[in-house]
Amino acid sequence: MTILMSATVNLATELVVFADGDLLLPFFSTADARELALVCSCFRDAVQAFPWHDQATPVCDLKRWRKCFPQATACLVSSRADMDAVWWALECVRNIRWISFRDCIGLQLVSNQLELFAETESLFIADGQVAGDTDPRILQRVRDLGLWCDLGDEHLAHLPRLRALEVFGNLRITDAGLRPLSQLQTLVLNGATDEYEDRRLADATMDGHMDGHINGHINGLHDTGPIECANLSDAAIAGKPLEYLYVMAINCSFSGAVIGALPLRQLCLRSCPRAVVRTGDLAALTGLDFLCVIDCPNVAVGDTDICQMTQLVQLALINCAAQVTSTGLRQLVRLQMEAQMEAQMQAQLQMQLQWCEIRGCPRSIITGSDYAELSEYTEIVSDNVLDDWPD
C-alpha cells in the first residue's frame, strides 16, 4: 500500500512538471482530465491550472465545467444541455477565447448578451438566435464568426479583422460588405433552411475547416432543393487569402477565373447555377486537398484541372458539367505515387486520393479496366463506367 501511494505521488509530481512545460496535458481531452483530477490533489491542481483548449468535448453543465477547468479557453456547448440553464450560466464563459453554441437548438440570446464575448476570438451561434439589434462594435475582437442573426454590410464594416465567416440564410450581405475583409481565409455561405442540412454543413466546416470531416457527408448533400444566401459576385472574394470556400447558395455568381486564382485548400460549390467554371480554370489550385461540386450545371472540372492537384484527398463531382475521365484520374494517381515515393525518401507526409465520387456527369467516362485499377488505390464511385473488357 505504501509503495502504491509513493508511486502515485511520484507520478503526480511528474504530471505537474510536464503540465508546467505543456508537454503532457495537451494530449488529453477535458473528458480525460476529469478522471485525472480524481486521482489526487496534485493531479487536480495541475488540471485546474492548465489552459484547456478542447473544442471537441461537449459541455452540458457550464457551471460545473468552469469549476473543473477555471483556466479553460474553449467550450463546445452540448446539444443535450438544458438551454435554460445554459442561458443563466453564460457568465461562466465571459470572454472565453473560443466558444460554439452550434448545436444549441432552442437557445435564444438577446443582443446585449453578446457583450459577454467582447474579448472572444472565435464565436459560433449557428443554430441559436440572437434577438434584437446587434451592436457590431461589441464583436470587434472576433476573428472567426458564425452567426445566424441577420447581419448586414453595416455590421461587417466594424469587423475588419475577420479571419473566418459563416453566413447562414442571410440575404443582406453584399459584395460591399465582404470587400473590406482583407484577412478572410474561410468563407462559408449556407443558404440551407432545413435543420438536417444545417447540421450536415456545420459538422463539415468551420471547427475543422472541413479537414477530415467531410467524407461521411458527401452522400445526400444534393438531395435538397435550391437555396438562397448572400447575393455575391467575384468582387466579394477576388484577391483574398481564402483557403476554404464553401458555397451553398443559388444566387452567388462566382467565376472560375477568380476562384482559380485563390490560394484554396478546400473548395465546395453546391446548388450554384450562376457559378461559371470552365475546364482549366482550376488548374492552378495545386494545393487543393478537397474538391466537391454538386448541382452546378455550369461548373466544368476536367482532366487538366485535377492532374495538377497532387494534394487531392477527396473528390466529388455530382450533377455538374465535369469532364473528368479515367485518363485524368490515372495520371493524378501516378503523380501522387511518385510524390509519395519522394516524400518517403525525405521523411515527409504526402497526400493521396482516398475518395472519388462522380455521378450525373455524362461527359465523365471511366473505363471498366481503369475502374478496376483505380479501385485498388482509392475508393471510387461512378455511374458512367464504360465496359471495355474483351469478350
Model pLDDT for residues 57-113, shown as the tens digit of each residue: 999 999 999 999 999 999 999 888 888 888 888 899 998 999 988 777 777 777 778
Q: What is the pTM of this model?
A: 0.80
User: How many Å separate Cα 381 from the centre of its chain?
Assistant: 24
Q: What is the pLDDT of residue 299?
A: 95
Q: What is the pLDDT of residue 190?
A: 79
pLDDT above 80 (res 374): yes
Q: What is the pLDDT of residue 8?
A: 47
Model pLDDT for residues 273-293, shown as the tens digit of each residue: 999 999 999 999 999 999 999
Strands 98-100 and 108-110: unpaired
Q: How many residues does the chain have?
A: 391
Q: What is the pLDDT of residue 335?
A: 87
Q: Mean pLDDT lowest for which of 208-212, 247-251, 264-268, 305-309?
A: 208-212
What are the structural domain ranges in the chain? 1-50
Model pLDDT for residues 329-355, shown as the tens digit of each residue: 999 888 888 877 776 666 555 568 888
Q: What is the pLDDT of residue 349?
A: 58
Model pLDDT for residues 160-186, shown as the tens digit of each residue: 889 999 877 667 788 898 888 999 999
Q: What is the pLDDT of residue 368?
A: 84
Q: Which amino acid is at 19?
A: A
Which three-class secondary structure string do you get for the chain?
Answer: CHHHHHHHHHHHHHHHHHHHCCCCHHHCCHHHHHHHHCCCHHHHHHHHHCCCCCCCCEECCHHHHHHHCCCCCEEEECCCCCHHHHHHCHHHHCCCCEEECCCCCCCEEEHHHHHHHCCCCEEEECCCEEECCCCHHHHCCCCEEEECCCCCHHHHCCCCCCCEEEEECCCCCCHHHHCCCCCCCEEEEECCCCHHHHHHHHHHCCCCCCCCCCCCCCCCCCCCCCCCCCCCEHHHCCCCCCCEEEEECCCCECEHHHHCCCCCCEEEEECCCCCEECCCCCCCCCCCCEEEEEEECCECCEHHHHCCCCCCCEEEEEEECCECCHHHHHHHHHHHHHHHHHHHHCCCCCCCCCEEEEECCCCCCEEHHHHHHHHCCCEEEECCEECCCCC
